[in-house]
Structure 1
Amino acid sequence: MRIIPLSCMKHLLLPALLLLASPAAFAQKGAPATDVEAVKKTINTFFDGMRKGDSALVRSTLAPTAILQTITNRNGVVQVRTENPKEVLKMMGTPHKEVYDERISFEQVLVDAQLASAWTPYQFYVGSTFSHCGYNSFQLVKLAEGWKIAYIIDTRRKEPCK
């Protein structure tokens, strides 16, 4: 067995201690796990409602003045399109043959007081047919009723997908 001298241990322990003490080491910037999970639940409920065609469930996740936008790039022309939330809810709630299925993962969720931001890569399917992919950026606010989506902006493309 080899014994490591105390002087060498100091050099090994110092970087480890600095890393643990660094604010960057905390993935959620110190946010309570309950808030992070509640933010994820709100976003998942939004997409559960979309898959079910339940516009009331989707509406329950939105702040009263929610803004929905998408970034498109057609033939090299980038545009930001604002969607009318009422029209989006109508489209989701109108019976349709295929399920609208947006499959997301949570890459990052940040929370500070009553503000949260979530970054989610996604793939969108109509039934079992792939439609497009991209990233969603969600901004949520913690209202009296809980976490609500105030703003969504996304990218849309056919490839490359994560």
Structure 2
Amino acid sequence: MKKLIAAALILISLKSFAQQTEQDAIKQTINTMFTAMRKGDSTMLRSTFAKGIAFHSVANKKDGSTELEIENPDDFVKMVGTPHKGVYDERITFGDIKIDGPLASVWAPYKFYLDDKYSHCGVDVFQLMKTKDGWKIIYIVDTRRKDNCPE
């Protein structure tokens, strides 16, 4: 009986370790995306995206309604890679990371700065897919606001 309990504990520990390793790999992909933004490196940025990636924003309109804005990922890559004033510095905090086989979901509150000047905040939600080349971002949706920011 003791051997059975010990074996079960080992299996649980191995599963927990594997889950943590996957979470670290997912975080690395997302952190690489933000490093690319800070550096203005479109090649590095694109390396974190899967083919067919989708971008959306949940926007609050002045009349109080909400709409879904569809954004073009190629325009985003071009914007990041085109020389510009200031550093795009998005600072996130990793919240929940959920994994089911080759699919992962990440909730990440953020604050965005241009250089050191605060611009806006919100939440990024990432969907990632595990590929033969590692975790790739397949979908990003975010919210944006100027106040009531996460700490």
Q: Give the number of equivalent residue pairs.
A: 135
1:128 maps to 2:119: no
Q: Which digits, 9 at most, give the CA deviation of each residue in 1:104-132, with x for residues without a partner?
A: 01011111110000000000011111111
Tell me, yes or no, if the aligned pair for 1:100 and 1:124 is still in contact at 8 Å.
yes
In the superposition, the TM-score normalised over structure 1's length comes to 0.80
Separation in 2, partners of 1:88, 1:97: 16
* Partner Cα separation in structure 2 for residue 131 and residue 64 of structure 1: 30
| Structure 1: runs of 5 or more not aligned | 1-28
CA offset at residue 77 of structure 1?
2.4
Identity %: 50
Displacement after TM superposition at 1:36 (Å): 0.5
The AA in structure 2 aligned to 1:46 is: M
CA RMSD of aligned residues (A): 1.5
If the length of structure 2 is used for normalisation, what is the TM-score? 0.86
Q: Does residue 55 of structure 1 match 2:42? A: yes
Asked if 1:91 corresponds to 2:89, the answer is: no
Q: Establish whether residue 74 from structure 1 lines up as the match of residue 65 from structure 2.
A: no
Distance, in Å, in 2 between the alignment partners of 1:30 and 1:157 is 37
* Structure 2 counterpart of 1:21: none
- Residue ranges of structure 2 left out of the alignment (5+ in a row): 1-15
Q: Does 1:149 align with 2:137?
A: yes
- Considering only CA atoms, is the larger Rg found in Structure 1 or Structure 2? 1
